[in-house]
Chains A and B, each alone.
Chain A
Amino acid sequence: MSADFRDGIRQGLPIGLGYLFVSFGFGIFALASGLSGFEAVAVSFLNLTSAGQVAGISIIAASGSLLEIAFSQLVINLRYLLMGIALSQKLDDDFRLKQRLIACHGITDEIFALACSQKKPVTPALMYGITFIVVAGWTTGTLLGCLAGSVLPSVITDAMGILLYAMFIAIFLPPARHEKAVLLAVILAIAVNCLFYYHVSSLSSSLAVIISSLISAGLVSLIAPVKEEES
């Protein structure tokens, strides 16, 4: 085990632990939607994403078509395309096609934020280490949710619904506090998304998220472009 792999595990541990709790809720949800425990764990292992999994399982439960499932995943997970391209800029030269095809599975909101915050270029071993501990947390949590969810009182499983969102806030608020441009992007994105949410009910919530974040990030990029040496 290389030093970078161990460092990745150490850095990814808080995310893995957070995922453990969040995916606990997903396990409960998947079982309630008619999946078996094995299927629920397989979904978590193969997808490693929260919003996309919940949307996919909901469509499966409603007997939706494969096309519908594919489209939902495309729209909801499209942000990973943008994150991956951004992350590409941080990867060191050891990343060839094979390493990229392995490491790409670890692109999630939190891992992306962690990888982008590294001072040095990201090595494959570091990325594997982070991904390993995060996948372990996400699938274990799903399994525990399947095993224990049915015996937990609903007041507890209901409270777990906030875990994911609280984690999102913990990621975007600190940089927004330090950088006015990030704060502006965050406020704009929320404002536009609320506008869609309360006034354009025909737009699906995942599509609304994509459009509002593109609008706000685009505007802020025009107003306050990053300095040459950044990112």
Chain B
Amino acid sequence: MRITLSIMTMALVTYAIRALSLTLVRKKITNRFIRSLLYYLPYAVLAAMSFPAILYCCEKPAAALCGTAVALVLSFLEKPLTTVAIISALAVLTVSIIL
């Protein structure tokens, strides 16, 4: 029962945020600063979520470092999301096995 209630709470809060986000502001935003902020923010959020957390995502730091390097190079070469994710994980796996 406690777990069910907890899951419902997670779902409700998450849905409420999303529902508000699409219904709160229906008009086109004309303020240039706000529009700029909304444009840059997602990239900033993803970057901050990735670093430094990615360096500690695996048991062995050297493996995480190699995986990060692979992710950076493949992303720079603009490979598709899935390709970048899977090959980075394979790099981590390879280094973990070798070490």
Which of A's residues lie within 8 Å of B, judged by CB? Answer: 14-15, 17-18, 21-22, 34-35, 39, 42-43, 46-49, 51-53, 56, 59-60, 63, 66, 69-70, 73-74, 77-89, 91, 95, 97, 100-101, 103-105, 107, 109-110, 112-113, 116, 155-156, 158-177, 181-182, 185-190, 192-194, 197-198, 205, 208-210, 212-214, 216-218, 220-222, 224-226, 228, 230-231
Contacts and interface: CB of A to CB of B under 8 A. Distances in A.
Contacts of A185: 40, 43-44, 47
A103 B22 contact: yes
> Majority SS of interface residues in chain B?
helix
Contacts of B29: 85, 89
A14 B83 CA distance: 9
A134 B99 CA distance: 35
B81 A167 contact: yes
Interface in B40-67: 40-54, 57-59, 63-64, 67
Contact of A77 (B13, B72, B76, B92): B13
Contacts, number: 309
Contacts of B6: 56, 59-60, 66, 69
Contacts of B63: 159
Contacts of A46: 7, 10-11, 14-15
B10 A56 contact: yes
A82 B41 contact: yes
10 contacts: A66-B9, A158-B58, A162-B57, A162-B67, A193-B51, A209-B48, A212-B44, A214-B41, A217-B44, A231-B39
Given A177-B76, A186-B43, A213-B47, A221 B33 contact: yes
B51 A190 contact: yes
Contact of B21 (A70, A80, A228): A80
Given A95-B22, A166-B70, A190-B51, 15 more contacts: A43-B11, A52-B10, A60-B3, A60-B6, A74-B13, A81-B24, A87-B22, A104-B15, A155-B93, A159-B93, A162-B92, A166-B75, A177-B76, A217-B44, A230-B35
B81 A18 contact: yes
Contacts of A167: 81-82, 84-85
Contact of B82 (A17, A193, A221): A17
Contacts of A175: 43
B40 A174 contact: no
Contacts of A17: 82
Given A21-B86, A221-B40, A159 B10 contact: no
